[in-house]
Amino acid sequence: MMSPRYSRSSIDRVGNILVDETISAENLETALSMFNDWRALHLYPMNTFKVTLRKYVGDIDSTGIVAQRLKRTPTIIDKLKNRQKTMRLGTMQDVGGLRAIVRSVQDVRTIEARYKQSRAKHELKKIDDFIAEPKPSGYRGIHLVFVYRHMQPDYDGLFVEIQLRTRLQHHWAAAVETAGFFFQESLKSSQGDEQRLKFFQMVSALFAIEEKELPSVHFHQFTRKALIDKIRQFEETHGILNQLNAIQVASYIKRKKQHLDAAAYWIIRTHLDPPSIEILPYTRSQLESANLTYRLLEKEVGQKGNKPQVVLVSTDSVKKLEKAYPSFFLDIKDFVGAVRKLIQ
């Protein structure tokens, strides 16, 4: 899937147009077309990195999960709007992203070390260690940002981000995303209901202690018992777990005629009113068709002004699809179960 070569400066201008609310409909349409072509280019380097990541994960955890996704247009636009002084579209590092979910922090560190020691030609540009220093929101994990090096100029210099998480870290992050979508709040960016934000921060700290790691700086003084008592009291007062447990798994799934497990890529569209999930499967040879449909569905969301989530992702199986992206299935049970097990 090749597109005309776009300069970094031209992509930056596209980003400026996407956040300009005064731009004409015609200019916006042109910018979106360029943006979609440029975003689709990330699929090639993502597939290359997925081969290596799958090997690293398979060597240490046979039950580990590897997945990939293209960042959604609304998320990219929100990120550009929130960081207009520092963020440019051409240098956004997570347009193409991969995710590995493994059993333990030790497994995460092992994969991180293998990437550090690798002699691959791709440049390891940046490491964000949110396990050693969790984000204020409570997010934990390790992000490795690579610059892809390739003889083809269309791909050369594209960024790919690899997220490494334990299962507990993933349950937390997926719960934040699910609750944010359900309650229409930007909880990932620490925006939304104060009680929900506080609850997720405390649970993240407890999860960190369970994994024998430091919680975020605001919870360094808490022991495990003190945190459990605090979360239990907080839940009795505010009932956040009950709110989260009320998020129901979607009532039905529309399926194409193809068997879902025969696919290599999936488009997932999640609606809230009424709750439903639509999964569109595509084989490896249908990737171009998948990307075209992805563009059209995102455009449809923008025109209608409604708020379904649409994403194009890839995993090894539909079972792993649900584990890798539970937020798109409105599935929060793993997180709720983990918290209840700890505080009870």
16-36 pLDDT, tens digit each: 999 998 989 899 999 999 999
What pLDDT does residue 248 have?
58
Provide the whole-model pTM.
0.90
| Span of 15-29, 77-91, 158-172 with lowest mean pLDDT | 77-91
Report which residue type is found at 18: L
Query: Bridge partners of 69?
Result: 97, 313
| Span of 16-20, 129-133, 253-257, 315-319 with lowest mean pLDDT | 253-257
Question: Residue 234 pLDDT more than 80?
Answer: yes
Query: Bridge partners of 163?
Result: 99, 143
3-state secondary structure of 20: coil
3-state secondary structure of 31: helix
Question: Residue 140 pLDDT more than 90?
Answer: yes
Cα–Cα distance, 280 to 177 (Å, whole number): 21
Edge to edge, the sheet with strand 309-315 lists: 123-129, 142-147, 159-166, 96-102, 65-70, 309-315, 265-272, 275-282, 253-255
Average pLDDT value for the chain? 89
Closest CA to 137 of 178, 186, 72: 186
